[in-house]
């Protein structure tokens, strides 16, 4: 006995899991919204028409560059992204990024950001004692 599959059955088997998966994704990832914020101690800036991933990337780069915490908040106030630097002085440093939605932590990630223009500090050269170079009067 030969089985025949209908087009409707095929669509249900393929498209239903895809729509359930798409519905489970966070809504803020796709929405382009207006964000307010910036590094701590600086004037709050307005960034229009960007997604959460774009603003997260920008905040992580700013936290690594300025060495200060960075926070961006969506225009409706429901989503907040915070980035905290590791306060290390090296070529690469770690930044901890947190995404908050409606007051609860949704995502937390630690990323390594490397600075190409970083120069290693010059090692400390101790001064010679005064006995080696006597004063000339």
Q: Per-residue pLDDT for 117 more than 80?
A: no
Judge whether residue 110 has pLDDT over 80: yes
Within a domain: 104: yes
Dump pLDDT digits (tens) for 43-67: 677 788 788 888 888 888 888 888 8
Q: What is the pLDDT of residue 45?
A: 75
* Domain presence at residue 63: yes
Q: What does the block give as tokens for 18? A: 């895809």
CA 127 to each of CA 2, 48, 121, 124, 131: distance values in angstroms, whole numbers, following the listed order: 93, 54, 18, 9, 11
Task: Look up the domain containing 43 and give its range.
Answer: 26-114
Residue 80 resides in a domain: yes
Question: Does 133 reside within a domain?
Answer: no
Burial class (CB in 10 A: 0-12, 13-18, 19+), 44: exposed
Domains: count for the chain: 1
Q: What is the pLDDT of residue 40?
A: 78
pLDDT-wise least confident of 9-13, 29-33, 65-69, 75-79? 9-13
- The reply to whether 87 falls in a domain is yes
CB 63 within 8 A of CB 109: no
The sign one gets for the Cα dihedral 93, 99, 100, 106 is negative
Give the pLDDT score at 20: 46
| DSSP 8-class letter at 28 | G
Q: Is residue 92, in this structure, part of any structural domain at all?
A: yes
In a domain, 122, yes or no: no
* 125 domain-assigned: no
């Amino acid at each position: 006995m030969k089985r025949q599959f209908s087009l409707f059955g095929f669509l249900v088997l393929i498209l239903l899991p895809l729509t359930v998966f798409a519905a489970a994704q966070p809504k803020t990832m796709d929405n382009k919204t207006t964000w307010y914020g910036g590094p701590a101690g600086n004037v709050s800036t307005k960034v229009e028409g960007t997604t959460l991933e774009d603003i997260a990337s920008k905040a992580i780069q700013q936290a690594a560059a300025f060495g200060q915490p960075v926070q961006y908040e969506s225009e409706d106030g429901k989503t907040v992204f915070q980035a905290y630097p590791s306060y290390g002085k090296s070529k690469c440093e770690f930044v901890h990024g947190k995404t908050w939605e409606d007051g609860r932590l949704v995502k937390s990630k630690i990323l390594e950001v490397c600075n190409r223009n970083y120069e290693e500090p010059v090692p400390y050269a101790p001064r010679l004692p005064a006995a080696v170079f006597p004063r000339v009067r």
